[in-house]
Amino acid sequence: MKIVSYNVNGIRAALKKGFIDWLKATNPDVLCLQEIKAHKEQLDLSVFEEAGYSYNYWFSAQKKGYSGVAVLAKKEPNKVVYGTGIETMDFEGRNLRLDFDGISVMSLYLPSGTSDARLAFKLNYMDEFLNYINELKQKHPNLVICGDYNICHQPIDIHDPVRLKNVSGFLPVEREWLTKFIASGFVDSFRLFNHEPNQYSWWSYRGRARERNKGWRLDYNMVSKPLESKITRAAILSDAVHSDHCPVLVEINV
């Protein structure tokens, strides 16, 4: 199964930049999207169906033009779960899970901490999410959580770890949480294969950051430990330019 995760920073904007051609060329079995910034009724779903994704599911924020996640699949899932059932989390449309035979795939969009209030919301969300996942793994041990975590884990994952150490996305408390999350039973699939520096998935639109590769690795395909031996490939697809993020890929023998 080829799984790709992509924060598109607005699906309608991405569609105007050749997203469907990219989708057909990349041809994932499952595509997890974050920050769709749209409601289902605002989209022409036929473009996804014509690309081979008859099974497309959308979980939007209550606030229009904000947040939201989606999952596109070639094969019909056994079950679709919108949100987590936790009221403080679900109103911003940040979790959507599809269960298939032998594997469950979730699209996750963790909040950013751009202000004191949003950082407090993010930290609470992270704690509630980890508790939720620890329970979920009991029923669904073969779990892939794809998405924009809005956290760089290690100094290798950010272009200037010294100067940015007090910026949300690389705060010690955020990094410690991601360490705890991985230790709870997950594998950072990209780092399973690639230990080189300067590998990023997000760049600011300011200061020619992408051109200069002044980036952050915020996007992950976290794979639960029971599936670790079945991971065959993981990569950052940095050639895709529909967003300030780029997609990340993992391939798993299911």
Query: How far apart, in whole angstroms, are the C-alpha atoms of residue 68 and residue 41?
Result: 13
Number of domains in the chain: 1
pLDDT for 88 equals 86
Which residues, given as ranges, of the chain have pLDDT below 70? none
Residue 148 annotated as catalytic: yes
Per-residue pLDDT at 50: 98
**Dist CA 143 CA 105 (whole Å):** 6
pTM summary value? 0.98
Count other C-beta atoms under 10 Å from residue 170's C-beta. Answer: 22
SS3 content of the chain, % helix, strand, coil (to 5): 30, 30, 45
- Which pLDDT value is given to residue 128? 97
Q: Which of 148, 157, 188, 219 is catalytic?
A: 148
CA dist., res. 145 & res. 151, Å (int): 14
> What is the strand order of the sheet 186-188 is part of?
79-82, 95-100, 103-109, 143-148, 219-224, 186-188
For residue range 123-156, what is the model confidence (pLDDT) as tens digits? 999 999 999 999 999 999 999 999 999 999 999 9
Is there a contact between 251 and 234 (Cβ–Cβ < 8 Å)?
yes
Q: Cα separation of 57 and 7, whole Å?
A: 15
What CATH number has the domain bearing residue 125? 3.60.10.10
- Amino acid making up residue 17: K
Expressed as residue numbers, the domain containing 196 is: 2-252
Q: Is the dihedral of CA 174, 179, 181, 182 positive or negative?
A: positive
- What is the C-alpha R_g of the chain? 17
Residue 118: Cβ-neighbour burial (10 angstroms; 0-12, 13-18, 19+): middle
Q: By three-state DSSP, how is residue 61 classified? A: coil
Residue 198: per-residue pLDDT = 97
